[in-house]
Amino acid sequence: MPVSRDIARSYRAPRRVMREMLAAGPREDRAIAILMAGCGLVFVSQWPSLARAEYLGGAPLDRALAYGFFAWLMIMPLALYGLAAVAHLLARVFGGRGSFFGARLALFWALLASAPLILLYGLTAGLIGPGIEADIAGGAWLAAFLAFWIAGMLEAERPRGGALPDAPGASGQER
């Protein structure tokens, strides 16, 4: 299924999307692709506000873009790997039965699935500037990111006993 369709489905049923992704098995190449796409979109979301800052007399755009590129595509992926490991270890303390891969996938998918809202935030901050509009867009992104991450972690860390009632094939027949 296309990633864009999965992103749209995540706004309706984030746990079901995460369940399907986990059912595909642990594929680190997919997790890294999701992470890099999410970090890349966050980097792109900063362009309008960086251009606005340069236009209003701030730092040169090329320097700001270089710093943002380094931060979001070199440093943040490593930091997010560490954050996912800490989240998994914390979930284990509270009875989680998942894996490090599941915790990584939940965090990385939350970043990518919430990317449309961070792009909206970037446009708002760049075109309108700081204010209530940018705060609302940023708050919507943060709420979506946390909701997707929590839903993903709940799905990734749940005990793997049997099929869930709403899972395809759970009743013995395909839907």
Q: Residues 108-136: pLDDT tens digits? A: 999 999 999 999 999 999 999 889 999 99
pLDDT band, very low/low/confident/very high, at 172 (cuts 50, 70, 90): very low
pLDDT, tens digit, 9 for 90 and up, residues 2-19: 889 999 999 999 999 999
Token reading at 158: 């749940």
pLDDT band, very low/low/confident/very high, at 163 (cuts 50, 70, 90): very low
Q: Cα(107)–Cα(95) distance, rounded to whole angstroms?
A: 19
Higher pLDDT, 24 or 170: 24
Query: Could you give phi then psi for residue 145, rounded to 5 degrees?
Result: -60, -50
**Quick check: 30 pLDDT over 60?**
yes
Over range 162-173, report the average pLDDT: 45
* Domain residue ranges of the chain, discontinuous segments joined by +: 35-157
Return the pLDDT at 36: 96
Over range 36-45, report the average pLDDT: 96
Q: Cα(171)–Cα(156) distance, rounded to whole angstroms?
A: 22
Q: Cα(154)–Cα(145) distance, rounded to whole angstroms?
A: 14
Q: Cα(35)–Cα(99) distance, rounded to whole angstroms?
A: 17
Do 163 and 147 form a contact (C-beta atoms < 8 A)? no
Helices (H), the chain: 3-10, 14-23, 28-45, 47-55, 61-70, 76-93, 100-113, 115-127, 132-157
Q: For residue 33, with 0-12 CB atoms within 10 Å meaning exposed, 13-18 middle and 19 or more buried, which class applies?
A: middle
**Quick check: 64 pLDDT over 70?**
yes
Over range 43-56, report the average pLDDT: 91
| Total-model pTM | 0.85
Return the pLDDT at 125: 92
Q: Cα(141)–Cα(11) distance, rounded to whole angstroms?
A: 12
Q: Name residue 51's amino acid.
A: A
Over range 55-71, report the average pLDDT: 89
Return the pLDDT at 118: 96
